[in-house]
Amino acid sequence: MSASNGNSKSQTSSIGKPLSASDWLDKHFLTKQPEYEEMLRWVGIQPNWHVLDAACGTGGYLPLMTELVGKGGKVSAIDLAPENIQVVESRAKKDQWHTSVLTQIGNVLDLPYENQSFDAVWCANTSQYFSDDEVHTMLREFRRVVRPGGLIAIKDVDITANQYQPTTPNLCTHLQEALVCAGNKHQGNLYRTMYLSSWLKEAGLIDIRQKPTLIVRFQPLRSVEKSFFCKSLKNWSALAEKVDLPPEESQIWKKLGDVDSPEHITNHPDFAHRSIQIVFVGRVP
């Protein structure tokens, strides 16, 4: 998929969630892979454990997850989008992962697993797609399927840190606020990441800890990074057309959406993107 086709519809999976298509998920993970893998390592997954990758997407975390549990461990992966499970199964056959991965199509709000089936659950960039009540349901399901002493790890983006440079520092914040005011539920959910710590406590977990990670990418960009940022900016530009913004900011977003222009921001020598991702970990008592 070319960067110029990076509108939100082309980035939607078969289950209708925005920014969840396989191509988008792959580019997203590869753009931030070093930091994402360090966050997974930080969780504390141990050799010989059975770990669930809940809402696994295209399986970016699975190679490292199988390495962490080793040949004596087990990894299961579940996702609601059938095409994502097909990608995972294809990659599992082609690549030499450290242990086998058991795949299943299913919903994290109603996991098809027995009580205390796992030593740990990992769930990345998924809570943003659910209502408050659904997130609580998801956490209860995670606790149900994890043994006492096991771990539950939730990672998501802190959208308040999102910046593209060189632009005005509040450009993304103003658009985000306008989208929330316009009733965009997904964008509103992106503000809840800091609640996850207290929500893990409400789910009955203990020893809550969190790791925020600043992720910055600047020139020279790798091809996958440029493609991902072009897709992102195309999407943000399309959203900006639907809300009321100051005229000067609307014009900036229009230019940012013109990803084929030689003068596009991703070609600027001072281009930089700044974001923060946070992983929260709790232990089942």
Predicted local confidence at residue 18, as pLDDT:
62
Predicted local confidence at residue 20, as pLDDT:
65
Predicted local confidence at residue 13, as pLDDT:
61
Parts of the chain with a pLDDT under 50: 1-8
Secondary structure (3-state) at 54:
strand
166 within 8 A of 271, measured Cβ to Cβ: yes
Token reading at 12: 């939607």
List, for residues 219-234, the tens digit of each pLDDT value: 999 999 999 999 999 9
In this prediction the pTM is 0.92
List, for residues 51-96, the tens digit of each pLDDT value: 999 999 999 999 999 999 999 999 999 999 999 999 999 999 999 8
C-beta atoms surrounding 279 within 10 Å: 23
Distances (CA, A) of 280 to 39, 78, 153: 10, 20, 6
Predicted local confidence at residue 22, as pLDDT:
86
Secondary structure (3-state) at 111:
coil
180 within 8 A of 242, measured Cβ to Cβ: no
User: CATH assignment of 3-283, given 3.40.50.150, 1.10.10.10, 1.20.1560.10, 3.40.228.10?
Assistant: 3.40.50.150
Residue 256 half-sphere exposure toward CB, CA atoms < 13 A: 28
Predicted local confidence at residue 262, as pLDDT:
96
